[in-house]
């Protein structure tokens, strides 16, 4: 990093792999609605706009996905992390990993038993898989690209 706000390196391949998520998706399963992924200028952060209904409750929020690089750090962190902010004041942290056609999103830290494991279809326009929670629970989820 040179001066504040100026980077001298491009986003890394693990973050760039998430480009497959860009666009608007219809979500069905345990949560219903739409999500839209879009890159922030510079492509260091992927933003997700969320408008879902889950368990009868509206879930409206914004997720910021990228590598942590705290003030003064010369390099970003190892994991692709996110923080989700919703319209009722909640914040949730996740770790993203996309290997081949498998997208894993862990709640909290990588390796957490609370996670989503989805698989992209051959054409890349559908992602299906379960949200798994410790002690049971969870639900199947499908995302279909609409734009």
Identify the band that residue 112 occupies on the pLDDT scale cut at 50, 70 and 90. Answer: very high
Give the per-residue pLDDT at 74.
87
Give the pLDDT confidence of 119-141 residue by residue, as tens digits: 999 999 999 999 999 988 899 99
φ/ψ of 5, rounded to 5, equals: 85, 0
Question: Minimum mean pLDDT among 20-29, 42-51, 69-78, 107-116: which range?
Answer: 69-78
Confidence label for 75 from pLDDT (cuts 50, 70 and 90) = confident
**Position 86 pLDDT exceeds 90:** yes
Is residue 114 within 8 Å of residue 108, measured between CB atoms? yes
pLDDT score, position 2: 40
Q: What per-residue confidence (pLDDT) applies to 1?
A: 41
């Amino acid at each position: 990093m040179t001066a504040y706000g100026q980077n001298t390196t491009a986003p890394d391949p693990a973050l760039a792999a998430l480009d497959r998520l860009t666009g608007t998706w219809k979500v069905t399963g345990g949560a219903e609605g739409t999500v839209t992924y879009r890159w922030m200028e510079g492509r260091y952060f992927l933003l997700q706009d969320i408008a879902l209904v889950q368990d009868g409750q509206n879930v409206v929020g914004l997720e910021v996905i990228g590598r942590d690089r705290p003030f003064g750090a010369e390099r970003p962190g190892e994991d692709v992390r996110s923080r989700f902010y919703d319209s009722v004041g909640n914040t949730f942290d996740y770790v993203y990993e996309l290997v081949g056609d498998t997208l894993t999103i862990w709640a909290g830290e990588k390796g957490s038993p609370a996670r989503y494991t989805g698989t992209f279809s051959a054409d890349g326009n559908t992602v299906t898989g379960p949200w798994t929670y410790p002690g049971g629970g969870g639900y199947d989820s499908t995302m279909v690209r609409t734009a």
